[in-house]
């Protein structure tokens, strides 16, 4: 083997060693980051006796909980109202102007029109927002889906 090929081989080995070291450092950094996360939004509060049992055990394992404690009621977390929303627009002085009210009413009507345009766009497809042209063609019966 010539000196040139030996130098090339040594350089390649060095590059591979550095690459492995970078990969190991990246994995260790990722593990350290994941160890700091708690996912507290998904955990239910544990009673103190459960923590004591965990600390006393030779092989620590938390007991399973069969309850999930939600932060609020269903209605406070999700808006279940089906009543139409009233336009709420306040002007600079705290009062509602007629122009703002008209624009708000038009915006609500436009929103309702767009919400009505959700339908199946093609055979075996999911719900999609149809363009205005497709929606008009569907209303006229020009779009035909095969069953």
Write out the two tokens for 80: 């279940």
Is residue 130 situated within a structural domain? yes
Q: What mean pLDDT do residues 124-142 have?
A: 82
- Residue 95 confidence (pLDDT): 62
Enter the pTM of the model: 0.32
Contact of 95 with 88, CB cutoff 8 Å:
no
pLDDT interval class at 142 (50, 70, 90): confident
More confident residue, 83 or 33: 33
- Residue 96 confidence (pLDDT): 66
Residue with tokens 């390649």: 12
More confident residue, 73 or 5: 5
Is residue 129 situated within a structural domain? yes
Is residue 32 situated within a structural domain? no
φ, ψ (nearest 5 deg) of residue 106: -65, -40
Q: What mean pLDDT do residues 28-37 have?
A: 80
**What is the count of structural domains for the chain?**
1
Q: Which range of residues forms the domain containing residue 133?
A: 83-140
Is residue 15 situated within a structural domain? no
Is residue 92 situated within a structural domain? yes
Contact of 128 with 118, CB cutoff 8 Å:
yes
Can you tell me the distance from the alpha carbon of 98 to that of 72, in angstroms, rounded to the nearest whole number? 38
Is residue 110 situated within a structural domain? yes
More confident residue, 40 or 94: 94
Can you tell me the distance from the alpha carbon of 118 to that of 35, in angstroms, rounded to the nearest whole number? 43
- Residue 23 confidence (pLDDT): 94
């Amino acid at each position: 083997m010539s000196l040139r090929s030996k130098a090339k081989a040594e350089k390649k080995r060095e590059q591979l060693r550095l690459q492995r070291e970078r990969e190991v450092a990246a994995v260790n950094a990722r593990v350290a980051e994941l160890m700091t996360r708690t996912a507290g939004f998904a955990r239910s509060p544990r009673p103190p006796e459960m923590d004591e049992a965990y600390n006393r055990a030779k092989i620590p394992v938390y007991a399973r909980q069969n309850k999930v404690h939600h932060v609020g009621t269903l209605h406070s977390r999700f808006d279940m109202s089906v009543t139409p929303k009233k336009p709420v627009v306040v002007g600079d002085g705290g009062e509602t102007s007629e122009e703002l009210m008209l624009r708000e009413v038009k915006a609500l009507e436009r929103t309702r029109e767009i919400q009505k345009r959700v339908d199946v766009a093609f055979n075996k497809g999911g719900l999609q927002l149809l363009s205005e042209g497709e929606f008009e063609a569907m209303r006229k019966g020009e779009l035909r889906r095969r069953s």
